[in-house]
């Protein structure tokens, strides 16, 4: 299938390097919490012949492609149609009480961007959909038609970090009183018309608004905030988790959780740290790692990526 040929997994070799010590042992289970078209998963299954994979995705199109791609690995693969904040229940329902590796490759997928009719791209005209799961109800068109001006302003500001959020929200409400917004081109035109030329020169004016709508439609930040602690709970001692984020809001949530999980809970000034205060995780990389210059040149999707990783060091009961 054509999509399989164009999808290049981001930071694949580094991801393998970080997860390998945990998943190369017999009987290891890796959860690809954002399976997509299965590029990362295929590489892991090839490199580690004894590995069992659990792949989660909310996108039925992606699951179909990944299922075809990974079919040759037989019963080593378990695919689940779900949003990844159900990671704990989904994996336990398959009979696995703990796992050795977890991978999150966040954000919109190559498949979703490349299929114009999904409406994720501001550079191509399409219906205002933006659902990662086509079986869910809320669409970007509904958000633009039904949310109050205050709510539109809030999501543009909070999820898009857009300084012109009040102006854009006002213009959208004015327009929908005349005619509904149904296509991405209509929305782009409203935003462009409302953006000073000097700001347009710094980048596409619709980029942050489209990001904000996508996050709202799919509840991405709320899902991530629930998913990371659940994933951490699922990891066995010695298990490792790698997270690839593509925008600052995602990365901030991951950073905050890992900072807490890798910090001692001992009160300041305690002469000896008691075992119950030891952190349950240790960081595997300092800060957030970026893709190499070579990878950025070869795979533009890797340009904004931020990689963070941690290992479970103990499970204190």
> Is residue 122 annotated as involved in ligand binding?
no
β-strand partners of 150: none
User: For the chain, which residues make up each domain, given as ranges?
Assistant: 2-105+220-312, 116-218
Give the predicted TM-score (pTM) of the model: 0.89
Confidence of residue 4 (pLDDT cuts 50, 70, 90): very low
Query: Mean pLDDT for the chain?
Result: 90
Helices (H), the chain: 2-6, 12-23, 39-47, 60-70, 87-93, 110-114, 140-146, 149-160, 165-176, 184-193, 197-200, 207-218, 220-234, 248-261, 293-298
DSSP 122: T
Rounded CA-CA distance 200/213 in Å is 20
Q: Which of 32-41, 46-55, 199-208, 259-268 has the lowest mean pLDDT?
A: 259-268
pLDDT at 101 over 50: yes
> Is residue 277 annotated as involved in ligand binding?
no
Q: What is the pLDDT of residue 265?
A: 59
Confidence of residue 268 (pLDDT cuts 50, 70, 90): low
> Is residue 67 annotated as involved in ligand binding?
no
Q: How far is CA 222 from the centre of its chain?
A: 11
CATH architecture of 116-218: Orthogonal Bundle (1.10)
Q: What is the pLDDT of residue 2?
A: 43
pLDDT at 154 over 90: yes
Q: What is the pLDDT of residue 269?
A: 58
Top mean pLDDT of 4-13, 95-104, 257-266 is at: 95-104
For the segment 145-154, the average pLDDT, to the nearest whole number, is 97
For the segment 236-247, the average pLDDT, to the nearest whole number, is 96
Strands 306-312, 281-283: parallel, antiparallel or unpaired by DSSP? antiparallel
> Is residue 85 annotated as involved in ligand binding?
no
Q: What is 2-105+220-312's CATH topology? A: Rossmann fold (3.40.50)
164-193 pLDDT, tens per residue? 999 999 999 999 999 999 999 999 999 999
Q: What is the pLDDT of residue 202?
A: 85
Q: What is the pLDDT of residue 307?
A: 97
Phi, psi of 239 (to 5 degrees): -75, 155
Q: Which tokens sit at 6?
A: 């164009």
Q: What is the pLDDT of residue 1?
A: 41
Q: How many CB atoms lie within 10 A of CB 34?
A: 23
Confidence of residue 274 (pLDDT cuts 50, 70, 90): low
Q: What is the pLDDT of residue 218?
A: 93
pLDDT at 271 over 70: no
Q: What is the pLDDT of residue 144?
A: 97
Share of the chain above pLDDT 90, in %: 78
Rounded CA-CA distance 41/205 in Å is 35
Confidence of residue 279 (pLDDT cuts 50, 70, 90): confident
Confidence of residue 103 (pLDDT cuts 50, 70, 90): very high
Q: What is the pLDDT of residue 238?
A: 96
Cβ-based burial of 53 (10 A; exposed 0-12, middle 13-18, buried ≥19): buried
112-135 pLDDT, tens per residue? 666 767 777 888 889 999 998 888
Q: What is the pLDDT of residue 198?
A: 86
> Is residue 105 annotated as involved in ligand binding?
yes
Three-class SS state of 137: coil
DSSP 8: -
280-306 pLDDT, tens per residue? 999 999 999 999 999 999 998 899 999
pLDDT at 77 over 50: yes
Are both 2-105+220-312 and 116-218 of the same fold? no
**What letters, b where the CB count within 10 A reaches 16 and e where it falls short, cover 208-231?**
bbbbbbbbbbbbbbebbbbbbebb
For the segment 16-29, the average pLDDT, to the nearest whole number, is 96
Q: Which tokens sit at 113?
A: 């961007």
Q: What is the pLDDT of residue 254?
A: 97
Phi, psi of 163 (to 5 degrees): -70, -25
Rounded CA-CA distance 76/49 in Å is 9
């Amino acid at each position: 299938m054509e999509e399989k040929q164009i999808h290049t997994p981001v930071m694949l070799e580094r991801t393998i390097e970080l997860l390998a010590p945990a998943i190369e042992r017999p009987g290891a289970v890796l959860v690809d919490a954002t399976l997509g078209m299965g590029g990362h998963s295929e590489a892991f299954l090839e490199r580690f012949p004894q590995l069992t994979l659990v792949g989660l995705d909310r996108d039925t199109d992606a699951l179909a492609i990944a299922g075809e791609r990974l079919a040759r690995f037989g019963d080593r693969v378990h695919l689940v149609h779900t949003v990844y904040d159900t990671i704990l229940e989904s994996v336990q329902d398959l009979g696995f009480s703990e796992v050795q590796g977890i991978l999150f490759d966040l954000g919109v997928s190559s498949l979703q961007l490349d299929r114009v009719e999904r409406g994720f791209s501001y550079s191509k005209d399409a219906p205002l959909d933006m659902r990662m799961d086509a079986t869910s109800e809320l669409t970007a068109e509904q958000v633009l038609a039904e949310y109050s001006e205050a709510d539109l302003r809030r999501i543009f500001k909070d999820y898009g970090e857009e300084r012109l959020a009040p102006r854009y929200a006002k213009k959208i409400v004015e327009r929908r009183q005349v005619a509904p917004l149904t296509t991405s081109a209509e929305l782009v035109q409203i935003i462009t018309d409302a953006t000073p030329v000097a700001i347009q020169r710094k980048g596409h004016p619709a980029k942050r608004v489209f990001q904000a709508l996508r996050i709202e439609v799919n509840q991405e930040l709320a899902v991530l905030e629930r998913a990371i602690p659940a994933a951490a709970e699922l990891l066995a001692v010695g298990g490792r988790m790698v997270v690839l984020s593509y925008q600052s809001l995602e990365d901030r949530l991951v950073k905050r959780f890992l900072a807490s999980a890798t910090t001692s809970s001992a009160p300041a000034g305690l002469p000896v740290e008691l075992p119950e205060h030891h952190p349950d995780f240790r960081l595997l990389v300092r800060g957030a790692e970026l893709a190499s210059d070579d990878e950025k040149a070869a795979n533009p999707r890797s340009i904004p990526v931020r990689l963070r990783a941690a290992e479970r060091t103990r499970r204190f009961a």
